[in-house]
Amino acid sequence: MQLETRQLIIREFTVEDTLAVHDYASNTEVAKYMIWGPNTEEETASFIDRAIEMQRRQPRLDYEFAVELKEEGQLIGVCGIHLSEPLQGEIGYCFHPYRWGRGYASESAKALLQFGFENLGLHRIYATCRPENIGSAKVMEKIGMKYEGHLRGHMRHKGKWHDSFQYSILEDEYAELALTSKRV
């Protein structure tokens, strides 16, 4: 499975990606709003194992993809889509801080919407972020997802209860957006 955007190759993980993933996954700033991390080497190795294991599952419900810069061939982050309920998917993304602010998260997330709606035939795609994670909320808004609400104290990790903002996009909204961007 491989997706291609203007600047990125979004592809399956291999064991060779472990060091490049650990480089960002062990970073405290990166893990600040995540339910995981900062990772130990063992935790990163176990993430890679799980990502590879997903590739073999039938039916396949989980996709974690490595995001690579086309020009440099360098792995800069991860994005994924998980089919939690029938015809619905949850997306997520995480990038090396050295690469923040260049549109890569938005480009990857948009590719995930295309994959989810056009290849997997989904009806609804959603995502959550911690309310303080302004960058992530902006990515969701930028790709056409709509704010659904504020989930209060709904998940517990790192010893605390956390709130989330939830966003989603439906198949007809995506179709309209895809049509509009083709017209421009």
Strand partners, 88: 85, 124
Q: Which stretch binds ligand COA (CB under 6 A): 8-16, 36-44, 47-55, 132-140?
A: 132-140
> What ranges make up the beta strands (E) of 86-145?
88-95, 124-129
> Is residue 125 near ligand COA by the rule CB under 6 A?
no
| Residue sitting closest to ligand COA (CB) | 135
Residue from the set 50, 60, 102, 152 that interacts with ligand COA by CB under 6 A: 102
> Is residue 59 near ligand COA by the rule CB under 6 A?
no
The residues in 134-173 that bind ligand COA, with binding defined as CB under 6 A, are: 134-136, 138-139, 142
Using the minimum distance from each CB to ligand COA, give the nearer residue, 150 or 172.
150
Q: How far apart are CA 80 and CA 103, in angstroms?
A: 17
Q: Name residues whose C-beta falls within 8 Å of residue 16's C-beta, 6 or more positions apart in sequence.
A: none
Residue from the set 63, 93, 115, 174 that interacts with ligand COA by CB under 6 A: 93
- Tokens matching residue 158: 């790192």
Tell me the one-letter amino acid at 9: I
> Is residue 69 near ligand COA by the rule CB under 6 A?
no
The kind and range of the H/E element at 170 are: strand 160-170
Q: How far apart are CA 72 and CA 149, in angstroms?
A: 39
Residues forming the site for ligand COA (CB under 6 A):
30, 33-34, 92-95, 100-106, 129, 133-136, 138-139, 142
